[in-house]
Structure 1
């Protein structure tokens, strides 16, 4: 599988399906067909519309689409997406709210690098913006990164996080969602030994596989049973000539998307059929529930082969972080070195990706942290997506996370919060 030809073949299949959808949409939307009473004409045009949109979204990076936020003064304030640090494999970005006093809560939201773009956390960012200065990691699509930029594995990922945390300073509150939770914990431990003054004030780990062996799921079973040789042979490919990363070894996003959809093929097939029917009846629209979900779900990115392989081998198979034997640049990272950072874990009771028990395992590794600075929460009835973007996040988890941040805010930040409140009342 490790050939450009197989990568280009997948892209050719995608382009062909997009073209077929576009052709059907154009042909069966021709005005003369308006005279036809055959419902299959409208169904064919609707099939073309849904098909074209679906396959087009697979190579389009979604926009953040966060234009404004309402502040305490009741006014809409424009939001600018500012790149704070630009690096080959990912940027640190800031959602800067124009004309609003700086928020005392400075939050670094660490987005997953697991096949989807950081915009998967759009609703999470929107929910935090009114109360926080929000920064997030914006990982790049590996197919667009030239081979000359070098490698990017789990150790490089940790060092990126270390650099971002140092840039933001010690009054930062870090929230890691899903995949980056173990590596963010390792980055914090790395700082605890190398630069203690740069550690964040608090660390919230949401639904992450700190110890994948604590509660088996389909994901952990796959990681345990498949061999590294099988993965290398069957899932890795070289980027084709169409993209700037031509020749780079990657785990293709299209291949991962096929795996995602195969796991719930009946659900997805029903959703697309229903959307075609709605479109044929004229009931579908640009921003309906189906399009909002699938515009994000179908937008996939390639991961570097070394990042994917090292994640499977070191995080899932060898459980290096769970066993506290993880190394960065040949130096062992001791989780127990964290003594000044408050840590909270959040899990969903019905999470079938990072099951309850996997994330809370982090607290047992924090042997140097006072128990009063540890906290955990299991959200009843919540699945994986719900604990960071759904109703459970908005109604229950977000308030708890903000309370945790406030309880571990530095004196200087508290003074800033008081000054902002005083200024608001003065108006």
Structure 2
């Protein structure tokens, strides 16, 4: 979502700046020839829709012959012609220049064919196209939207310069002939200035901490560093310093484009950006970090502490263990006592129940004995045997001697 908002904002700014350029409020500080000036582009950066090849062994009409002020010469038994010439004469032909970097284009300069053999050929009008990626081209238009038709040459060697009503930014430009004399043949150059290490329609300086590309540029059209950052910086425009606790690599890089340390942390720190100090109780390690992500002590703890991060005190652990043991002992003792009480209560209940049972048996046996009424029926009159026994007892002295109570009373 943020990226989309950023892109929309950049487009709005670009449109606004383009409007300022159209009103002439921004221009190159120094106008240069971009094709064959102080930094000429290679011949293979000049291409065309076609080239005249009637006899290439003796005639060279390649796009490389299209540079401004190129002379027609005879060399090594062949002619190097003073122009680029198309294979066919139609309105679909074009010649293209690719620059070393995106540039601001302010004008076009053309010439006809330089001749030694009397071939008077020139382009008398043309259209101008430009592209920032050399794939998608736009046609330069008038303020009313119609395609601009630029006037060409009236002779062979005069420079005809056409300044653009508003500068355009391009990596590639094309000249497409509309009308011509004799044959489609021309020489040309482009006026403007290279963005170089700049961006935007105002050619602002790229951020100072961008890493440079081979062609000298270091940021895109929005000022975003395209090749990353120089050492110790990160972010889209490399304006954020790397975290101070990142460990340095041999090439000097300390963090990636998100600010995460790519080579770990300096001693006694951990985390993606090394912003967290190691736990205080980690054991020291000579010349190395005492902890690793996520803060685990690499060589254990100092005396008196334990745990992955040495967060637990052994004394507290012992005290807690002792307290837990004491509490456990008390609980076990209470449980044993409780069980013993239950067992004793059960035994008492069993014994009481048994005593009650025995009492019932005794009472029952007593109730089963004969009563006094029943005993009375056994009288001396009804049982003569008992009467006889009593008489004999009195007569028998040995039995009388057994009456201890009487003997003591005498």
Could you state the TM-score of these two structures normalised by the residue count of structure 2?
0.18
Higher relative contact order (CA 8 A, sep 6+): 1
- Structure number with higher strand proportion: 2
TM normalised by structure 1 equals 0.18
